[in-house]
Each structure stands twice: as structure tokens, then as C-alpha cells.
């Protein structure tokens, strides 16, 4: 159980570089007494290759689950910056709560956190909601409030990628009984999403993807050629046998 939901809970490191979106790595949350979701997320960030951090200006976007003191301080120890969601009732070092702040862009200290953060917020209407709800977001980097809001909204686009993998590529539909079987299913689902995403990018269009059509493009362009190559290789082996 996690936040009232029963099932397999994943912590996914999802890379976004320009138009490219790649589920890079993941860990399974195992419940009370085991590493928390924030600790698992920090482990994934630590395992990013050094060349990647040298080549790109890396920013870590995450939801409020990863707005904990341990996660934020861990990110700063890695010499990176994070932009995460944050609960509206988090306390400041002076005893006030976030909901008592009325000016976005303030640089403040959260209770228990040694480094200052910049706070902002925006209003978001999710599926099934009649009214827009306020989303508080913080940045460990001193940025303008408008920039933090832009990144905060961008994180919800990443959330759309997770939903696509769940509902379009079977990430949420498995009835496997073994740990190995579960991992195999998760990897297959994420790989299928990556391949279809690359098929979508080959269209050179900005319209929203039709994932069925994108998957068909990959099936025809890549997997069919691979199958033919395997058949030809088998035929060559059979021909060479005495």
C-alpha cells in the first residue's frame, strides 16, 4: 500500500532531452521498513553516468513525494538542482507554513533543510476535476517564479508519459506471480513505449501522437526487418550444414 493504493509502485527515472523521452531506470518500492520512494529516487539520480552530467545542464523534476529534506539535500550534495512539488502545509524555519506566503519567488528556508529554496505556485486542472487546484513547487536553484512555474508545469507533461506507458503499453496489466516475471513485464512495457515514441518522432510533426499508429510504424520499419534477418541467418546456417 502506498498513499492508499495497492499494487506495484515504481520509482522511475525518466530522461527528457529535447523531443526525446526515455524511461532510463526504475526501482520497486517495497513498503514500510524498506527504502522510501525518495531514497530510491536519490539512488537512481546518483547512478546517472558522469558523461551525461558533463554534457547537459541537469535539472531533477519530481512530485511532492520527493520534496523531503533527505532528497533535496542529497541532490545538492550531488551538485545538482531540483524542482519538486511541495505540500502547502510544510513549515518554514521561522515556524510559518507555506500557505501563509502570498508572494511567489521568495527565497526561504524549510524546516530541517540547510539550503534555501525558492517557492512558487500555479493552478492546474486535472482530468475529472471541476475546479483548478493550487500546486506549490520549490526550486533549490535561485530562479524567477515564472521559470519555476514553467518547469513545474513541464513535470506534468512527464506525468503524461507515465500514464501513456500504463494505459497504452500494458504497464499496469500483469498477473505474474514471480519477481523475475514482473521485472520482465515492466522492461518489455517500457521498451515498447520507447520504440513507439521513436516511431512518433519519425513523423516530424507536432500533433499529439496516435500511439497505435506509432507502434505500427515501428513494427513495420524495425521489427519486420529484424525478423527477416533472423530467418535469413537460420537459412544460411541450415545451408552450410553437411
pLDDT in tens, 217-234: 777 776 666 667 777 888
Residues 32 and 85 both lie in one domain: yes
Q: For residue 126, is it within any domain?
A: yes
Question: Looking at 155, 185, 200, which one is the last position of a domain?
Answer: 155
Residues 114 and 188 both lie in one domain: no
Residues 102 and 32 both lie in one domain: yes
Residue whose C-alpha is closest to residue 137's, from 157, 161, 117, 115: 117
Q: For residue 2, is it within any domain?
A: no
- Boundaries of domain holding 182: 169-242
Residue whose C-alpha is closest to residue 191's, from 211, 169, 176, 212: 169
The pLDDT of residue 136: 93
Count Cα neighbours of 71 within 13 Å in the Cβ-side half-sphere: 26
CA gap 22, 198 in Å, rounded: 10
Residues 17 and 115 both lie in one domain: yes
The pLDDT of residue 240: 79
Tally the domains of the chain. 2
Residue with the three cell numbers 513498503: 31
Residues 29 and 118 both lie in one domain: yes
The pLDDT of residue 83: 95
Residues 33 and 125 both lie in one domain: yes
The x, y and z cell numbers of residue 220, run together, are 513495420
Q: For residue 141, is it within any domain?
A: yes
Residues 36 and 132 both lie in one domain: yes
Residues 115 and 36 both lie in one domain: yes
The pLDDT of residue 150: 92
Q: For residue 4, is it within any domain?
A: no
Q: For residue 160, is it within any domain?
A: no
Question: Looking at 129, 155, 181, which one is the last position of a domain?
Answer: 155
As a three-state string, the secondary structure of the chain is CECCECCCEEEEEEEEECCEEEEEEEEEECCCCCCCHHHHHHHHHHCCCHHHHHHCCCEEEECHHHCCHHHHHHHHHCCCEEEEECCCCCEECCCCEHHHCCCCCCEECECCCCCCEEEEEEEECCCCCCCCEEEEEEECCCCCHHHHHHHHHHHHHHHHHHHHHHHHCCCCCCCCCCHHHHHHHHHHHHHHHHHHHHHHHCCCCCCCCCHHHHHHHHHHHHHHHHHHHHHHHHHHHHHHCC
Q: For residue 51, is it within any domain?
A: yes
CB atoms within 10 A of CB 112: 13
Give Rg (Cα) of the chain.
22
Residue whose C-alpha is closest to residue 172's, from 40, 180, 164: 164
Residues 112 and 196 both lie in one domain: no
Q: For residue 215, is it within any domain?
A: yes
Question: Looking at 155, 177, 195, which one is the last position of a domain?
Answer: 155
pLDDT digits (tens, 9 = 90+) for 141-157: 999 999 999 998 888 77
Distance of CA 187 to the CA centre of its chain: 15
Residue whose C-alpha is closest to residue 208's, from 218, 217, 197: 197
Residues 51 and 145 both lie in one domain: yes
The pLDDT of residue 127: 65
Q: For residue 162, is it within any domain?
A: no
Residues 222 and 147 both lie in one domain: no
pLDDT tens for the chain, 242 residues long, are 777 877 788 899 988 887 778 888 999 898 888 999 999 999 999 999 999 888 889 999 999 889 999 999 999 999 999 999 999 999 999 999 999 998 999 999 999 998 999 999 998 877 666 788 888 999 999 999 999 999 988 887 777 778 888 888 888 776 677 888 888 888 888 888 888 888 777 776 656 667 777 777 777 776 666 667 777 888 888 887 76
Residues 83 and 186 both lie in one domain: no
Amino acid at each position: 500500500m502506498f498513499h492508499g493504493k495497492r499494487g506495484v509502485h515504481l520509482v522511475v527515472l525518466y530522461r527528457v532531452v529535447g523531443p526525446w523521452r526515455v524511461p532510463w531506470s526504475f526501482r520497486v518500492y517495497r513498503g514500510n521498513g524498506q527504502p522510501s520512494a525518495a531514497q530510491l529516487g536519490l539512488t537512481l539520480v546518483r547512478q546517472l553516468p558522469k558523461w551525461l552530467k558533463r554534457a547537459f545542464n541537469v535539472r531533477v523534476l519530481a512530485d511532492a513525494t520527493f520534496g523531503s529534506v533527505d532528497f533535496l539535500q542529497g541532490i545538492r550534495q550531488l551538485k545538482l538542482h531540483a524542482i519538486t512539488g511541495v505540500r502547502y502545509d510544510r513549515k518554514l524555519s521561522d515556524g510559518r507554513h507555506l500557505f501563509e506566503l502570498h508572494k511567489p519567488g521568495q527565497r526561504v528556508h524549510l524546516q530541517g533543510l540547510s539550503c534555501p529554496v525558492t517557492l512558487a505556485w500555479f493552478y492546474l486542472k486535472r482530468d475529472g476535476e471541476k475546479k483548478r487546484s493550487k500546486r506549490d513547487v520549490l526550486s533549490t536553484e535561485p530562479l524567477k517564479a515564472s521559470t519555476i512555474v514553467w518547469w513545474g508545469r513541464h513535470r506534468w507533461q512527464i506525468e503524461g508519459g507515465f500514464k501513456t506507458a500504463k494505459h497504452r503499453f500494458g504497464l499496469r496489466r500483469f498477473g505474474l506471480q514471480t519477481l523475475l516475471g514482473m521485472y520482465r513485464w515492466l522492461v518489455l512495457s517500457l521498451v515498447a513505449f520507447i520504440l513507439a515514441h521513436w516511431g512518433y518522432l519519425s513523423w516530424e510533426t507536432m500533433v499529439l501522437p496516435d500511439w497505435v499508429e506509432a507502434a505500427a510504424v515501428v513494427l513495420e520499419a524495425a521489427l519486420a526487418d529484424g525478423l527477416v534477418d533472423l530467418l535469413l541467418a537460420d537459412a544460411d546456417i541450415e545451408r552450410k550444414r553437411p
